[in-house]
Structure 1
Amino acid sequence: MTLIAEAQPDVVLMDISMPVMSGFEATERLRAKQPNVRVLILSMHESREYILKLIQCGAAGYVLKDVSSDELITAIKTVYSGATYFSAGASQPLFSQTDFLTPALASEPKEALTCREQEVLRLLAQGASNKATARQLDISVRTVETHRQNIKTKLDIQTAAGLARYAIEHNLID
């Protein structure tokens, strides 16, 4: 994030799978700190859930890694101009289901989890302690506890097992 603050780019090309933090979290953090920066996701994932979550996190476009260089340039220019861009491979999963006219996250709770809450839930559901989660996300243990309580409240789930089940059912963990 420091490099982005120094370079002040107009468009950032972002992947989902990165070593320090996920593309979900990075997109959400970047948009919170640099709201004028447009984020274009370049990914191999064709998952409808991933695409929708990245839109929620503030991504302006989504392009699969198998697109031509010409299409990638078009996507960057489109996002730079203030519009959104989704490659055909990314659009297909979004509109292939017959429920696309209903709210996009109809299967999600009324008050959807933020990207950060999803990251906390993913780590906790994988068995990480509050302390380990805090260390990995570079936040305080108290912040993890607050996120955990907010997640439980939003999802109306009271047990760790219930949270793990939710995470599995919503593809937050394998």
Structure 2
Amino acid sequence: MADASATPAEADPVTVLLVDDHPMFLEGLRGTLLPQEGFRVVAEASTAAEAVTLSADHRPQVVVLDLGLPDASGIEVTRRLLSDRPEARVLVLSMSDDDDNVLAAMRAGAGGYLVKGADRAEILAAVRTVAAGGAVFGPRVASRLQAFFGSLAAAPGRQAFPDLTPRELEILDLLAQGLEYRQIARRLTISDKTVRNHVTNIFTKLQVNDRAQAIVRARNAGLGTDGGPAQPQPAPSPEG
């Protein structure tokens, strides 16, 4: 048993598996998690398949995981890793702070979520916290989650559209406010393509054919307005 008074370097090191398909990023992480800081990188993977195999072989305490792997989503990898080894801990380190990705990672069982660009001290502290069984989210992610859950609690369309994800409901509300796709993308700091993908899912779930019909449905449910449910009103023509 490790001496409780020992420094991180003197105590048993936290064993870590690094998973990312960018060699330069892996090299930087490896250099951050030095043995003298109380860590030991036991393996590195660049694909989901390698991550699952190496986790089973090396049994690391913490898996530091990117979401954008070439053969599978990091969300699915998280589920698989924790299904195989419930005692493992996953820290997501991703380029994306999109609410859907953060929430999906949390639902999959990730113990932490940092955005790439976090400084060295933040990464070290996050790995230690997750290894100890805690949860950690970087400042950018935490502030977005706070705003997200605050807006979700007050969203008038939650009961009207139970099949929509929180992000889809948020985008539908912005559509009902009259924002164009590009404006929504800027507001939510996501790409135009991501907005259009969400809108396609919204159309399917609401069983509507175009943006105009979706906006009418949204406004009738009280979205797109600071007040109560709005009266039916004409909507803009579908966006090309």
Q: Which runs of 5+ in 1 are unaligned?
A: 111-163
| CA deviation after TM superposition for structure 1 residue 101, in Å | 4.6
Counterpart in the other structure of 2:134? 83
1:109 alignment partner in structure 2: 163
Pair 1:19–1:168, CA change in 2 (3 A) = farther
Name the SS of the counterpart of 2:67 in structure 1: coil
Identify if the C-alpha distance between structure 1 residues 44 and 60 changes in structure 2 by more than 3 Å, giving closer, same or farther.
Answer: same
Where is the helix percentage greater, Structure 1 or Structure 2? 1
Paired letter, 1:21: A
Q: State the TM-score, normalized to the length of structure 1.
A: 0.59
Q: 1:39 aligns with which of 76, 90, 93?
A: 90
Higher relative contact order (CA 8 A, sep 6+): 1
Q: Which amino acid aligns with 1:60?
A: G
Structure 2 stretches lacking a partner, 5+ long: 1-51, 165-198, 206-240
Matched, 1:166 2:201: yes
| Cα drift, residue 165 of structure 1 | 3.5
For 1:71 and 1:7, locate their aligned partners in 2 and report how far apart those are by CA, in whole Å: 25
User: What is the rounded CA distance, in whole Å, between the counterparts of 1:85 and 1:77 in structure 2?
Assistant: 10
> What root-mean-square deviation, in Å, do the aligned CA atoms of Structure 1 and Structure 2 show?
3.0
1:108–1:19 CA distance, 2 compared to 1 (3 A): farther
Distance change >3 Å, CA 70–CA 3, structure 1 → 2: same
CA displacement at 1:46 relative to structure 2: 1.2
The answer on 1:50 being equivalent to 2:85 is no
Considering only CA atoms, is the larger Rg found in Structure 1 or Structure 2?
2
**Aligned pairs, how many?**
117
User: Are 2:45 and 1:10 equivalent residues in the alignment?
Assistant: no
Alignment of 1:18-167 (within 5 A): 18-97=69-148, 98-99=150-151, 101=153, 109=163, 165-166=200-201
Q: Deviations over 1:80-115 (max 9, x none)?
A: 010100010111211123335579xx57639xxxxx
TM-score (norm 2): 0.44
CA distance in 2, matches of 1:3, 1:108: 39
How many angstroms does 1:76 deviate by?
0.2
Q: Deviations over 1:31-86 (max 9, x none)?
A: 11111110000011011111001101111100011111111000000000101000
Aligned to 1:152: none
- For 1:19, what is the secondary structure of its paired residue? coil
Q: Kindly provide the amino acid, as one letter, of the partner of residue 59 in structure 1.
A: A
Query: Distance in 2 between the 1:74 and 1:101 partners?
Result: 31
Change (3 A) 1:102 1:51: farther
Q: Would you say the 8 A contact 1:94–1:100 is kept in 2?
A: no
